[in-house]
Structure formats: structure tokens, C-alpha cells
Amino acid sequence: MDDAYKPEIIEADAQRFWDENRTFQVTEEPGRETFYCLSMFPYPSGKLHMGHVRNYTIGDVMTRYQRMQGRNVLQPMGWDAFGLPAENAAMQNNVPPAQWTRENIAAMRGQLKQLGFGYDWSREFATCDPSYYKWEQWLFTRLYRKGLAYRAVATVNWDPVDQTVLANEQVVDGKGWRSGATVERREIPQWFLRITDYADELLDALDDMPGWPEQVRAMQRNWIGRSEGVELAFAIHGREETLSVYTTRPDTLFGVSYMGLAPEHPLTRELAESNPEIAAFVEECNKAGVAEATVATMEKKGLDTGLRAVHPLTGEEIPVWIANFVLMTYGSGAIMAVPAHDQRDWEFATKYGLPIRPVIAPADGGEPDVSAEAFTDKGVLVNSGDYTGMTSDEAFEAIAGWLQQRGIGERQTNYRLRDWGVSRQRYWGAPIPIINCPTCGQVPVPDDQLPVELPEDVQFDGAGSPLKQMPEWYRTTCPQCGGAAERETDTFDTFMESSWYFARFACADNDGAMLDDRAGYWLPVDQYIGGIEHAILHLLYARFYQKVMRDEGLTIADEPFTNLLTQGMVLKDGAKMSKSKGNTVDPQALVERYGADTVRLFAMFAAPPEQSLEWSDSGVEGGYRFLKRLWHLVRNHTAQGAAPALDVAGLTDAQRDTRRKVHETIRKASEDIGRRFTFNTGIAGVMELVNTLYKAIDDDSEQGRAVMQEGLEASVLILAPIVPHICHRLWQALGHDDAVVDAAWPQVDADALTQDTLEIVVQVNGKLRGNIQVPADAERDAIETAALDEPNVQRFISDKTVRKVIVVPGKLVNVVAN
């Protein structure tokens, strides 16, 4: 073993060893306990960033730890290869998106290998491979035939100058990012998947997913947003048809003082045709992006239509307004406004001088005060005719029943969740496998014509998708009638690819089926790791896809990911790393300077995985220092030759103390690394152990060296998942012929943990006043007496009366005196 720690040499050696021995290539071995560990695959943007390094190190540590537990562990890697950045790069550098993407993948694959992650590369794929998206297209045609995929119009951001659809991200302060033009809303036909058919299952299953953070489950529950309410119809003076609204608060019905229509509501449209003022207002509303955050933060604006609705209970006339804050995508696109008890309605009413009528009083009997804001709690009804005096819940039942009896309203379960729009008017995505035939309409592409391949050798100028300018590509014949027809030129949302890649890793080489028996062997994923920013969309779509694939008979699991770990962001100077802020740290440079182990160690040491991680160059330096320290300790020990066998009975007190520290560390690290995933504290524990071993460095007695050997082996085994290269070398140096990657996780020797005396702290009135040593088996009375006799405790209680003594066994005594 070398005197100096030389990461560049030992890391290349270890990686060659794993490579030559195909260490991480796994096969299905029936009867063996499996563990499928998956980190969210990256978008191939060019090079790895620190968020990737952190994510993939967490996954690799879990993978290697599970391997040391003897499980058959799968850890694959692939590429989320479709998406907007490739199109932007193509415009900037005049390189086809496919070429740019594949070059990036090659570069990033090299970086991942350099970091020593234990992936089974034989399963690798990119989502832009036709052999992958073929099956996505195949499944879509099945969903279409089942009625789970359908076409409808939907609103998009439209850049009137560039004549193109914009992503929400491309709308900056209401303007197109390239043209600077004010963005407009436009309705175009789009493909949708009926995720709302699965809303109840997606929601209810959240209660039975203990391996997911409660935080993420709460976000998904709120996103799905199931509510119980009433849909009721308001008659409109002088018109045949009624105006349908959905409310979760029928108990506030007597407080309705106006109606609100979305600018996109059919009634609004009809009125706009004959009323220029309304048309102008709608046009003004349309000069805005579609993002919900934009809509929700816009200044509330409205226009009285002049129509009057009729209150179903009082017969009173209620003005009908168009309001820009009413969402066409939720409920029926119209609301009954109760400004006294809904904050948005309150703000609108205040602005336009509409009446605010309190009809709910606080349950504690106070007067409702709605002068400064709406009173949104439930309570007791007032000013509500026959219903006055009922609680909100009683009135809900009574009013809903009354409406239902008269055929005016109906109880209804509603969801905030909308169907998933999967069409994108972009080039770099999987083509939607539909042929539009003038005779037959929409016809799914037959299986034997799949995949519909995306042409990759294209000129990309950014003015819309090249597919729309490629008649040689989109002109085709109808599979049904054989007549001339055109392919769909929209491509899929990239969430489509990331919604099932985890399953495809089980059988990526199968070109005859989407999934096979091997999916049954590996799925569901035991541990999924990725950024908290994916808490809702990606994770909800993947759950939906899993259920769809299950219902297609492709797999049996109900849920895709048994355990989920959401890692926090990597920050620099308190802010998210970004090119625009100029605060990025390039992992590549750090690996070259310190080696992969140091980078991995720091990423795991600086913070627990769920928290954000503040990057620190000097912290990295500290990690490097620790590895050198460990190296030198092993070097110093092994230079004296093989260590003698341990004889537990023959240890000195000091050796026994050292050995206790060894086993306390194993116990702590097993908890921290194996169960809690607080790798930072696990590493800190080993650092403490190494500090302790340094203090025992001069004990070159037989048993001193035996304890040192045991301590070093424990340290190396515990650190092996985190810094695998150095541990690979140190394990050999400690005299082992097997590789540490195949070694078993260390076991705690309970006998080594026993102590004769314990230190107990003593408080007086909750403040620390002293500590006492007591025999480990001391009785409560003896501890109490010892605590009261402690001189400093005496000083604080001598002029007081002891009222109570609280003894927390093995820890603390609190004397209450006054």
C-alpha cells in the first residue's frame, strides 16, 4: 500500500475491477430477496450538475448498502432524452437535436462512470430511442381504443409574433421570451389521457403508502383536490337555458350576491358576439398566459353582462358578471359568488361595490364581521330563511336535499385534477401515433407500423416544429380505407416517457413486448430517489401509468414506488445553483482535483438528504482531509504486519473503551445509513471513531493491534457504500481477499456495549447543575440519593424544599424545589 492517498490511481483500479467482474450486472434469481433502487434519470443537458451528483450518490449508497445485506440489487440508469432544451440548443448551434442529445449522453455517461456509481449499464436506454418510444406509442393506441385517450380543445400560450405555442416557462412577465410580444391565449385541439378516471384510486391509495413522505402525499391529495359539493342551476331572466355552478358551500346560498363567468365560458362567448364591450373585455382577458400562478395573482377584473340570474330560494335577481379569476378548467366555469364567505369573491365585490351579505356566524355565537375580509370558516346560519340556526353541516344536507328534490341541483364529487394534456406542438418528442383521415377520422397507427419514427436529420430554425413542414413524413395512407391521410404532427409530453421508464429497465432488451415477466420480478421499485420538485406532476403521472399498465395486464403492481426519498436542492451562497446567477460548481473539476470519493463524501456529509445542501469548497477540502487521515491510519497499522486475533477477555480498560466505541459506531451507523438515511450523522459517527482510533495509535500491544484491526475494518465496511474506491483498496490492505463490495455489513457485538457505570446529569428546576456516576444497575432510590447529595445540587436546594424528584432512567434526574 502506498504511503500517500492517491485517488486518481485507486479510483481507476476499483472501477476497472467492477467493470471486469461485471459487478453490477444483475440477473433474475428466483427465491433471492430483491432490491430495486432507482434514482430519477437525468435530462442529458450536457454535463452533470451537483444536484445529479447528490441524487445519484444517495442512490448508490443505498444500492451498495443493500448489496452488503445480501440482496439481489438492481440499479439501472438511462436518459430522459426528449425535451425543449435540445431544440433551443439546435437553434443556437445549428446542430440537430438528436445529435446534440446523443453527444451529451456520451459525455454524461463518462462522468457517471467516473463517479463510481454501481449501475447495471447493460440495461441503459434513452427515451429518444425508437425501441423505447415504440412501446409508448403502442400503449397509447390501446388507451385510445379503450376511450382513455381522447381529443379536445385546450388553451395554450400563443406568441403572436413568432406564431408558435409557448411553454409556461417561456412566458416571462406575460411576454414571449424570444419575441417579447404580449402572450395571448389560444384554443387548439389536443390529446388528453383520462387520469381523472383514476382520481379516486390515486387519492385513496395515498393513505396506504407508508414509504412515501407525508409531505408529498399531502401535496398530491391537495392536487387531486376531491371535494363534495352541489352542482346547481340558476335560471336567467329572459333566457331558456340555466347557468350551472358548482359549490362546496351550499350552506352559504343565501349570501350569493353575484354570479361569475369565466371569460372562456360558452355564455360569455355568446354574449361577446353581439356585445362589443364584452368582446373587448374577453380579448383583454385573453392577453395573458395560461399558468395558474399567473391567473391567481392577476388583479381581479370583471364586467357586468347586464344579465340577471334568479336566486332559487329567494327569487331575488342577481347580477351576472364576467370575472377573470373564474377558471374554466374547474367545475363548470361559472361560480355563485358569496363575498361574505369567500376571500376571492370578497375582493371582487369590494372592488366593484357589490353587496356583501353575511349568512354564516361563528359557531361560538359571535357576530360575523366581514368588513375587513371574508369569514371562511363553517359556523351557524343567519339571515337564511328557514335554514337560519342550522350549523353549516346541517344546512349543507338540508339545502342540497331541497335543491335535489326540485331538480335544481345535485350532489356532486368534484376534482381539482384535470385530464392530462399530452400533446405538444414541438419536434423533439415521440410522435403521437395517430393518422388523420378525411374519411375515417382519427385512426390509431396499427401495431405492425410502429414505431412511428421521428426523423432525426432535420434543419431546425425554431419557427414551429419541422414535422409540420415535412410532407414526406406526414403524408401517408389511412390504415383503414387506404386513402390519402396525414400523420399527427404533435408529439408527446415528455412526462409520458418518464412515467414508465422504471418498468422498462426490467426488460429493456425485449423488442417483442413492452414488458415481460422480468417486470414482475423486479417491480415495484423498492426505493425511488429524486428531487422534491417532482413531488406532484412526475410522481402522479407515473402512479397513473402504473395503474394503466396494470389494467392492461402488463404488470401486477398497483403502485410504482414503494419507498420514496425526496432530496433537497443544492445551493451555493444560499441560492439555487444556476448559470444566470453564476454560482455553479462543476463536479467534474472537483473529481479531477480530489477524486470521486471526496465529492461523494461531501455530498453525503454536508446535510441530510431531504434538506437543501449548502455547497462549501472548504467543506470538500475537509472531506478530502478525512480520507487522507483514514488512509494514513490504515497505512500505519498494516505496516506493522498482520494483526493478532482478538481476545475479548484479555483487554485492558482502555482497549475495552476503544472497542465499545467501535461497536457503538456500528450500531449508530447501521441506524443512520440503513434505516434513517441520515448519512451525514452516520459519517460523523465514523469520524468520531477514527478520532478515537488515532488516540489508540500508540498501543502496539497484541490486543491493542487486534482492537485497531476490528475498528478499521468496521470503519471501512461502514464507509464502503459512500466512498467505495478508497474502501476497495483499504479492505485489501487490511488483509482480505474478497472485494469489499461483496462483504457483509458489520454486526454489533452486544457484549462490547456493556458499561459498569453510567453518567447521569442532575437538574434543579430544569437547569443543569451537576452530574453523577452511578452503577449501571443502580436502583431509582440510590440514583435519587446520589443526585441530592451532589455538592452543586446541594448548593441550589439547601434553602429550599424538595417537592418532587423526576428520574429518567440512564439519563437524567430533575429535582423540583422551591
Count CA atoms closer than 13 A to 617's CA, side-chain side: 8
Q: Is 14 in the site for RNA (CB under 7 A)?
A: no
Query: Shortest gap between Cβ of 161 and RNA (angstroms)?
Result: 17
Identify which of 745, 746, 740 has the alpha carbon closest to the alpha carbon of residue 13: 740
Residues 6+ apart with CB under 8 A from 86: 97, 98, 100, 101, 428
Binding to RNA (CB under 7 A): which residues in 236-255?
Answer: none
> Residue 394 is placed in which grid cell?
346541517
- By C-beta, is 409 or 704 nearer to RNA? 704
Q: Is 211 in the site for RNA (CB under 7 A)?
A: no
Query: Shortest gap between Cβ of 607 and RNA (angstroms)?
Result: 4
Strand ranges (E), 50-118? 72-74
Find the part of the chain contacting RNA (CB under 7 A) among 115-123, 210-218, 355-363, 506-514.
210-218
Among 493, 597, 713, 790, binds RNA (CB under 7 A): 493
- By C-beta, is 439 or 691 nearer to RNA? 691
Q: Is 235 in the site for RNA (CB under 7 A)?
A: no
Chain Cα centroid distance, residue 261: 35
Residues 109-148 vs RNA: string with x where CB under 7 A? Answer: ----------------------------------------
Q: Is 808 in the site for RNA (CB under 7 A)?
A: yes
Euclidean distance between CA atoms 229 and 250, whole angstroms:
7
Cα dihedral 534, 539, 545, 547, rounded to 10, equals -170
Strand ranges (E), 57-211? 72-74, 149-159, 164-166, 171-172, 175-176, 184-193
Count of Cβ atoms closer than 10 Å to residue 722 Cβ:
24
Quick one: 225 exposed, middle or buried, by C-beta within 10 A (0-12, 13-18, 19+)? middle
Count of Cβ atoms closer than 10 Å to residue 394 Cβ:
14
Binding to RNA (CB under 7 A): which residues in 525-554?
Answer: 532-538
Among 61, 318, 507, 607, binds RNA (CB under 7 A): 607
Quick one: 689 exposed, middle or buried, by C-beta within 10 A (0-12, 13-18, 19+)? buried
- By C-beta, is 518 or 661 nearer to RNA? 661
* Concatenated DSSP letters of 262-282: -TTSHHHHHHHHH-HHHHHHH
Among 34, 476, 701, 771, binds RNA (CB under 7 A): 771
Among 149, 606, 752, 788, binds RNA (CB under 7 A): 606
- By C-beta, is 231 or 614 nearer to RNA? 614
DSSP letter, residue 560: S
Query: Shortest gap between Cβ of 543 and RNA (angstroms)?
Result: 13
Q: Is 214 in the site for RNA (CB under 7 A)?
A: yes
Count of Cβ atoms closer than 10 Å to residue 456 Cβ:
14
Binding to RNA (CB under 7 A): which residues in 562-581?
Answer: 569, 574-576
Binding to RNA (CB under 7 A): which residues in 271-330?
Answer: 290-293, 296-297, 329
Binding to RNA (CB under 7 A): which residues in 716-735?
Answer: none
How many angstroms separate the Cα of 697 from the Cα of each of 49, 625, 719?
40, 18, 20
Euclidean distance between CA atoms 575 and 489, whole angstroms:
40
3-state secondary structure (DSSP) of residue 571: strand
Strand ranges (E), 347-458? 360-361, 380-381, 409-414, 420-421, 423-424, 434-437, 441-444
3-state secondary structure (DSSP) of residue 305: strand
- By C-beta, is 212 or 281 nearer to RNA? 212
Determine contact, residues 68/37, Cβ cutoff 8 Å: no
Binding to RNA (CB under 7 A): which residues in 35-74?
Answer: 42-43
Euclidean distance between CA atoms 334 and 305, whole angstroms:
13
Among 66, 332, 494, 709, binds RNA (CB under 7 A): 494
Among 792, 794, 800, 809, binds RNA (CB under 7 A): 792
Binding to RNA (CB under 7 A): which residues in 401-420?
Answer: 416-418, 420
Query: Shortest gap between Cβ of 283 and RNA (angstroms)?
Result: 21
The bridge status of strand 317-323 relative to strand 149-159 is: unpaired
- By C-beta, is 181 or 569 nearer to RNA? 569
- By C-beta, is 579 or 804 nearer to RNA? 804
Query: Shortest gap between Cβ of 672 and RNA (angstroms)?
Result: 7
- By C-beta, is 425 or 527 nearer to RNA? 425
Determine contact, residues 140/433, Cβ cutoff 8 Å: yes
DSSP H stretches of helix in 414-462: none
Query: Shortest gap between Cβ of 366 and RNA (angstroms)?
Result: 16
Query: Shortest gap between Cβ of 671 and RNA (angstroms)?
Result: 6
Q: Is 627 in the site for RNA (CB under 7 A)?
A: no
Query: Shortest gap between Cβ of 633 and RNA (angstroms)?
Result: 8
- By C-beta, is 34 or 680 nearer to RNA? 680
Q: Is 369 in the site for RNA (CB under 7 A)?
A: no
Among 222, 439, 477, 755, binds RNA (CB under 7 A): 222
Tell me the residue type at 361.
A
- By C-beta, is 73 or 154 nearer to RNA? 154
- By C-beta, is 651 or 683 nearer to RNA? 683
Q: Is 468 in the site for RNA (CB under 7 A)?
A: no
Among 82, 522, 544, 561, binds RNA (CB under 7 A): 82
Q: Total residues contacting RNA (rule CB under 7 A)?
A: 109
Determine contact, residues 143/548, Cβ cutoff 8 Å: yes
Count of Cβ atoms closer than 10 Å to residue 692 Cβ:
17
> Residue 467 is placed in which grid cell?
414535422
Identify which of 434, 539, 647 has the alpha carbon closest to the alpha carbon of residue 195: 539
- By C-beta, is 277 or 617 nearer to RNA? 617
- By C-beta, is 387 or 624 nearer to RNA? 624
| Element housing 603 (H / E) | helix 596-605
Among 55, 63, 157, 665, binds RNA (CB under 7 A): 157
Binding to RNA (CB under 7 A): which residues in 160-189?
Answer: 165-170, 188
| Element housing 227 (H / E) | strand 227-236
Query: Shortest gap between Cβ of 287 and RNA (angstroms)?
Result: 17
φ and ψ at residue 309, rounded to 5 degrees = -90, 160
Among 51, 76, 83, 333, binds RNA (CB under 7 A): 83
Find the part of the chain contacting RNA (CB under 7 A) among 62-70, 353-361, 545-553, 810-818.
810-818
- By C-beta, is 416 or 593 nearer to RNA? 416
- By C-beta, is 263 or 312 nearer to RNA? 263
Number of H helices, E strands in the chain: 27, 32
- By C-beta, is 281 or 428 nearer to RNA? 428
Residues 419-438 vs RNA: string with x where CB under 7 A? Answer: -xx-xxxx------------
Cell 438515511 belongs to 677
Q: Is 619 in the site for RNA (CB under 7 A)?
A: yes
Query: Shortest gap between Cβ of 245 and RNA (angstroms)?
Result: 18
Residues 6+ apart with CB under 8 A from 310: 234, 235, 236, 237, 316, 317, 318
Euclidean distance between CA atoms 514 and 507, whole angstroms:
8
Query: Shortest gap between Cβ of 424 and RNA (angstroms)?
Result: 5
Q: Is 514 in the site for RNA (CB under 7 A)?
A: no
Identify which of 640, 629, 812, 620 has the alpha carbon closest to the alpha carbon of residue 50: 620
Binding to RNA (CB under 7 A): which residues in 658-697?
Answer: 668, 671-672, 676, 678, 680-681, 683-684, 687-688, 691, 694-695
Residues 6+ apart with CB under 8 A from 450: 134, 137, 138, 141, 433
Q: Is 223 in the site for RNA (CB under 7 A)?
A: yes
Find the part of the chain contacting RNA (CB under 7 A) among 249-257, 402-410, 740-748, 760-768.
760-768
